[in-house]
Structure 1
Amino acid sequence: MSLPKTQKAAVKVGQGDASKVEVKEIPVPSPNSDQILVKINYSGLCASDKSLLHDEWSSTGLTQLPVTQGIAGHEGAGTVVAIGSDVQDLWSLGDRAGIKWIASVCRKCEFCTNGRDECHCPKQLNSGFSIAGTFQEYVLTDARYATRLPEGVKDEEAGPIMCGGVTAYVACKRSAVRPGQWLVLPGAGGGLGHLAVQYAKAMGMRVIAIDGGDAKRDLCLKLGAEKFIDFTKTKDIPAEVTKITTYGAHGVVVTAATKAGYEMAPHLLRPGGTMVCVGLPKDASVIAGAPPIMMCLKRLNVVGSVVGTLKDVEECLDFTARGLVHPILTHGGLEDINRFCDDMNAGKLPGRAVIKIAAS
């Protein structure tokens, strides 16, 4: 397969709030023996991409590394166009592949070998953070950790599932909410939240969506939420949740990366309920939890959740292949990333932004 020498990429320029991306021409890389080269058709734009591009987490030490060349993105879907010498038994030219936040793991440590925790591999490589990401036309990735995309899932939907989808899905599982029980989703109309509504519904949970405005209400109810609470109109949200559920919700997944969201979440739970932390605020002073007396008397659980395993991603894609979960997409190109980041900051980005990367 003949490949070009150069490609277009969205490259970070500047620092902090003033940083932006510029579309530049850079070389097309060649795969090492254990890598594949994927021509990216679509890449989702995650809130984590915005945070890395704008150095929002610099106080925690999470900053994009120089080796990325300033190229973010970790929700890629495309076609295999070159294969390393050691992995030609795994992939064929023309296969469809997905690239995730976790691009590679060591496959040797305790977390990789216990069958459930490879997301915590200390030697993992992360797309757009420790290696160049998917905001470029051609991306190198570990052939043994790339995701094979199934029939019935379009690239434009598969991209956002690589992070947004699996993050929402695993968070629903981490909530320990059983079919028929109540799950509350603050920020339910956002990029992660609208996916969590769909996964929770498909998993048999009863969903209470929290967000603001008629458009978010209509979206959440359309996607399967049983109840909607408008935070701009409801003075006492915990009381409203208790009114709906009698004793409080069995679980709450906090996708909104706000101090208010994290402070409210424990008050929405019944005794024995579980709060799942997902949204990552740029304010390092935000704490997840509750006063010890509430934690003890209500026997609350507070857990964190981060993306998902290779198997989790396969399960997520199957929900879409079966027609149960579909990202609500706002389309654009590499030149729209700055605008989408601004819209995300303003809370004006419907659903999930997806970037058309390579020309057809």
Structure 2
Amino acid sequence: MVDTMQAAVLEEFGQPYILKQIPRPPQPKDHDILIKVLVASYCHTDAIFASGAMSKDLPCVGCHEFAGEIVAVGGKVSKSLEMSPGIRVGVPGRAYNPCSTCFECTNPDKDPMGYSPFCPHAGNLGLTRDGGFQEYCLVDSRQVTKIPDGFPTNQVAPLMCAGLTVWAALHHERLRHAKKVAILGAGGGLGHLGVQFAAHLGLSVLAIDANDKSLAFLRKVKQELESAGDNVQVADVRKDDVASMRAMMRETGDKPMNELGLDAAIILPESQAAFDTGIKLLKNHSTMVIVSFPKNGFHFSAHDLVFRDITLVGSLVGRNYQLSEMLLFCQKFKVSADVKTFPLSQINRLVEEYHKGVSGKLVVDMKL
């Protein structure tokens, strides 16, 4: 058995990945499984981490949204998970080896008892532990999901963070009765998936962005949605003011103009201007879902929260049952990420492309 493998290692913040041979992970123990990585996707969080804004722990192999094939299984992996060599799995960057004893891990929610993506003591692949930019990786069997037969692996990887994050935001309990939703920053990796999810969920969607490339991309997404695209309105925030964007979402029989507004807004950019636009689009008693986390936070008006009864909520990542539900939904409605593929040897060119402001998702295909 070969005891080394190729990996893209971040050795210094703000510097390119170093391609090198490193030791292959050992045989898995306890709840771990060893997978052969097939496709690894680049996420905005990878860029934040590489800048040095999140951690001081280096060296580290990046990537927390990837997919692979099981090679070996640890002794405590639950038989109910049906994990065995040869099975393909999607790997989100959720809790790796949680403590299983804290409030989050023992809270009776829909995650397996003893596991929670919110465990404060857990590791995170690609951040505190080596992630998917390597040929083999140890992952927690409780953090992954089996890939449905026929589902392309290069589509699964981007769904493991970008897809799951925006899926969870759209399914936040505060949005249970929402009918009209704005997605700000809709032309990016999370956004274009969110537009597809929301349209196929039957929501009326206001897809907002602020540059020509992203807006052209959104119009393409809308067209490819076919009849579901009738639920989508694309807005250029540089030209369309709040009143005109609200009017785009008006339906016959709606309330008078001063009562118009959306039920929810999901903010994806780290932009105060986007946040302010989202708040203005909302009607009273509605919800802003915050997914991004700018370094200096967002500033908000207490007037909106008190006098308009606007609720601000955060959404991090989905739970286990949401992960499998999302993949089945994508398969049923043909939701897909717009992907551009690179070999691992060109990981730094991929990063350069990312910083140019590409739409869709950039992924590493280990077969190339």
Task: Verify: 1:242 aligned to 2:279, yes or no.
Answer: no
Q: Following the alignment from structure 1 to structure 2, what is the Cα–Cα distance between the partners of residues 21 and 80?
A: 26
CA gap of 1:176–1:206, structure 2 versus 1, over 3 A, is: farther
Q: Which piece of structure 1 moves more, 3-12 or 104-113?
A: 104-113
Which residue matches 1:91? 83
Task: Verify: 1:81 aligned to 2:71, yes or no.
Answer: yes
Deviation at residue 162 of structure 1 after TM alignment: 1.0
2:163 to 162, 165, 170: 165
Task: Verify: 1:50 aligned to 2:51, yes or no.
Answer: no
SS at match of 2:90: strand
SS at match of 1:240: helix
Q: Deviations over 1:301-330 (max 9, x none)?
A: 100000111111111111122134211111
Equivalent position amino acid for 1:37 in 2 = L
Equivalent position amino acid for 2:65 in 1 = E
> How do residues 285-296 of structure 1 correspond to structure 2 at under 5 angstroms?
285-287=296-298, 290-296=300-306
2:292 to 279, 286, 295: 279
The question of whether the paired residues in 1 share the 8 Å contact of 2:267 and 2:274 is answered with yes
Equivalent position amino acid for 1:25 in 2 = Q
The question of whether the paired residues in 1 share the 8 Å contact of 2:28 and 2:34 is answered with no
Identity %: 30
CA gap of 1:138–1:230, structure 2 versus 1, over 3 A, is: same
Equivalent position amino acid for 1:43 in 2 = A
Q: Following the alignment from structure 1 to structure 2, what is the Cα–Cα distance between the partners of residues 352 and 179?
A: 30
Q: Following the alignment from structure 1 to structure 2, what is the Cα–Cα distance between the partners of residues 336 and 249?
A: 43
SS at match of 1:31: coil
CA gap of 1:23–1:108, structure 2 versus 1, over 3 A, is: same
Q: Which piece of structure 1 moves more, 196-205 or 213-222?
A: 213-222
What do you get for the CA RMSD once the two structures are aligned?
2.1
1:133 to 131, 149, 154: 131
SS at match of 2:333: coil
Which residue matches 2:253? none
The question of whether the paired residues in 2 share the 8 Å contact of 1:98 and 1:147 is answered with yes
Which residue matches 2:364? 355
Q: Deviations over 1:218-270 (max 9, x none)?
A: 23422435211112333x2x222222335111111011222322232211101
Deviation at residue 357 of structure 1 after TM alignment: 2.2
Equivalent position amino acid for 2:318 in 1 = G
The question of whether the paired residues in 2 share the 8 Å contact of 1:179 and 1:205 is answered with no
The question of whether the paired residues in 2 share the 8 Å contact of 1:64 and 1:129 is answered with no
Q: Following the alignment from structure 2 to structure 1, what is the Cα–Cα distance between the partners of residues 56 and 149?
A: 34
Deviation at residue 65 of structure 1 after TM alignment: 2.4
CA gap of 1:175–1:198, structure 2 versus 1, over 3 A, is: farther
Which residue matches 1:25? 21
Q: Deviations over 1:78-100 (max 9, x none)?
A: 11112223338442210112221
Deviation at residue 205 of structure 1 after TM alignment: 0.7
Q: Following the alignment from structure 1 to structure 2, what is the Cα–Cα distance between the partners of residues 88 and 285?
A: 42
Q: Deviations over 1:164-216 (max 9, x none)?
A: 11101001112744577211011111000001101111221100111132523
Which residue matches 2:254? none
> How do residues 143-182 of structure 1 correspond to structure 2 at under 5 angstroms?
143-174=141-172, 176-177=174-175, 181-182=179-180
The question of whether the paired residues in 2 share the 8 Å contact of 1:177 and 1:251 is answered with yes
Which residue matches 1:109? 102
Task: Verify: 1:71 aligned to 2:61, yes or no.
Answer: yes
Deviation at residue 31 of structure 1 after TM alignment: 2.7
State the number of aligned residues.
Answer: 342
Deviation at residue 142 of structure 1 after TM alignment: 1.6
1:120 to 115, 118, 124: 118
Q: Following the alignment from structure 2 to structure 1, what is the Cα–Cα distance between the partners of residues 305 and 232?
A: 28
Task: Verify: 1:297 aligned to 2:298, yes or no.
Answer: no
CA gap of 1:116–1:65, structure 2 versus 1, over 3 A, is: farther
Which residue matches 2:216? 215
Which residue matches 2:267? 254
Q: Following the alignment from structure 2 to structure 1, what is the Cα–Cα distance between the partners of residues 263 and 203?
A: 10
Which residue matches 2:354? 344
Deviation at residue 344 of structure 1 after TM alignment: 2.8
The question of whether the paired residues in 2 share the 8 Å contact of 1:175 and 1:253 is answered with no
Q: Deviations over 1:278-309 (max 9, x none)?
A: 1232xx22315x21112212110100000111
The question of whether the paired residues in 1 share the 8 Å contact of 2:64 and 2:92 is answered with yes
SS at match of 1:50: helix
Q: Which piece of structure 1 moves more, 174-183 or 137-146?
A: 174-183
Which residue matches 1:188? 186
The question of whether the paired residues in 1 share the 8 Å contact of 2:287 and 2:312 is answered with yes
Which residue matches 2:36? 39
Which residue matches 1:310? 320
Deviation at residue 104 of structure 1 after TM alignment: 3.4
The question of whether the paired residues in 1 share the 8 Å contact of 2:37 and 2:135 is answered with yes
Equivalent position amino acid for 1:120 in 2 = F
